[in-house]
Structure 1
């Protein structure tokens, strides 16, 4: 009887660190995804302002098509952010996002996908902003 109890205790002690480690990894990855979101979300206002500035340039009958392209890239970036947030919110509930609730295997795969998507989104937003700012400064 003592031997079987000891074996059970040893098994639990062996498995416990791994299960905690996996949950910490999930929580850390979720925090990273949210940190990237939090980094780029404030830039939505910048995007709106730049679109307005580009609209003025376009309305001045400026034949330079770069303004229209830069404006469209900004609009695409803004739409991508809104779409990403909706899709992310549809995939994960509040406890998973904010409280580190353990994810199912499927949701962990989703989180991996969302991490890649939000990194691409960050690059898209930053590039569209830089391109528009550089264009506006040059003229």
Structure 2
């Protein structure tokens, strides 16, 4: 898992923009876009943990069906979704494809389209769960 986190954390600094073919450039651009979504959301993972820590004592005292417990579980699911996405993404693409813009096979291009949709859903899940938790804690 640390390997995937290291690769994904380094992507913005290492992506190459020197593709010769238009198709490769389009793939690289889409890969960069997918990684940009990841990079936008990844810093929020610490906030997820912090919010879980704030909600846990409340959830423990109020019970499993309390809004605090339900929101805490949503945060935990969002965290798990991000970890699952990163693992799946790392299993599908090698470092040259991620970091160097290596041309993708038609099958891998299809996968990249799928991964783009998945990471967008993870982003939404993370943002929504954080907003809900912050609102609950502010009340």
Which category describes the TM-score, using the shorter chain as reference length? Answer: 0.7 to 0.9
Gap runs ≥5 in structure 2: 1-19
Q: Distance in 2 between matches of 1:21 and 1:131?
A: 42
Q: Please state if 1:57 is matched with 2:71.
A: no
Post-superposition Cα deviations, 1:31-68, rounded to whole Å, max 9, x if no partner, equal 00000000111111000000000012123x23571001
Look up the SS of the partner of 2:21 in the other structure: helix
What TM-score, normalized by structure 2, do the two folds share?
Answer: 0.82
State how far apart, in whole Å, the 2-side matches of 1:62 and 1:27 are. Answer: 49
Q: CA deviation at 1:24?
A: 0.8
Structure 1 unaligned runs (5+)? Answer: 1-18
Q: What residue number does 2:39 align with?
A: 38
Point out the structure with max Rg over C-alpha: 1
Aligned to 1:133: 134
Structural RMSD (CA): 1.2
Runs of 4+ in 1 over 6 A off after TM superposition: none
Q: What TM-score, normalized by structure 1, do the two folds share? A: 0.82
